[in-house]
Amino acid sequence: MNNDDYMGWKNWQEKDFGRVTPGARFYFRQVLDPKMAKCGKVLEIGFGNGSLMGYLREKGHRVIGLEVNEELVRRAVKNGYLAYKGAAWEIAAIQKIQFDFIIVFDVLEHMRQGEIVSLFKWVKLHLSENGSFILKFPEGASPFGRAGQHGDFSHVTVLTRSKVQILCVESGLILKSYDDDLLSSNTMSSWGLIGRVALRIIQSYAALVKKILRILLYPLAPSMSFATNSIAVIVGQQANPS
């Protein structure tokens, strides 16, 4: 699938670049705001049609974006973002920058193992003191993560907690947290307070069901997950992990 076909499949319209939908805003508030309490320099790798970059700019962060898709880079620049095409270790303009946050959402599964190793080693050198490397990807140890992982021909790598831990050890980083992603809904979030409260209830119910399943199946499959996606927060050796 080429880049144009991929953008068509994702329905990424140029007029929507950087638009933050109600569902995306509520999701980012839940997932990212607790991990990004202070404003800082952010690198988003694989920014797609710019929803997260738009949210981060609203919050006051200084954002740089990287993409392999030249058309998406053009859209970002047109909308006033600093954006580059290519891999992080290939872009001369960012090699002297230390980032407070490096965010990679729904991208690692598109990368080969060697590229992921290179990325982790690059991140080790470019995280500021107490900086965070925040990842989201389909959970490879979960039966519920398979739909996301195998629903796209461009997904070539399956990731799990143990694989992320190995990558951290090899690159001199520390896995601070590894959590199930939250359910999100643009439709429910657009209903206002009632929709957001209902969505929180559904999220709590899903978390309870997964906890019960983990307890019941632990003797048979102690490493099994029931997440659709996982979110990992990684820090440098100088940071103080919890």
145 contact partners, CB below 8 Å, separation of at least 6: 138, 139, 225, 227, 228, 229, 230
240 has pLDDT over 80: no
**Structural contact between residues 234 and 122, judged by C-beta atoms closer than 8 angstroms:** no
**The residue to which tokens 């202070």 are assigned:** 38
241 inside domain: no
127 inside domain: yes
Domain of residue 40, residue span: 3-236
21 inside domain: yes
What is the per-residue pLDDT across 65-119, written as a single tens digit (0 to 9) for each? 999 999 999 999 999 999 999 999 999 999 999 999 999 999 999 999 999 999 9
Q: Which residues pair with 65 in a beta bridge?
A: 44, 83
What is the per-residue pLDDT across 137-182, written as a single tens digit (0 to 9) for each? 999 999 999 889 998 888 999 999 999 999 999 999 999 999 999 9
Residue 6: the pLDDT is 81
* Mean pLDDT for the stretch of residues 32-45: 95
Higher pLDDT, 242 or 121: 121
Task: Give me the CATH number covering residue 25.
Answer: 3.40.50.150
* Burial of 232: CB neighbours in 10 Å, binned 0-12, 13-18, 19+: buried
Query: For residue 59, what are its two tokens?
Result: 């919050």
Cα separation of 2 and 142, whole Å? Answer: 29
Q: What is this structure's pTM?
A: 0.93
* Mean pLDDT for the stretch of residues 9-18: 90
Residue 151: the pLDDT is 86
178 inside domain: yes
What is the per-residue pLDDT across 127-143, written as a single tens digit (0 to 9) for each? 999 999 999 999 999 99
238 has pLDDT over 60: no
Number of domains in the chain: 1
166 contact partners, CB below 8 Å, separation of at least 6: none
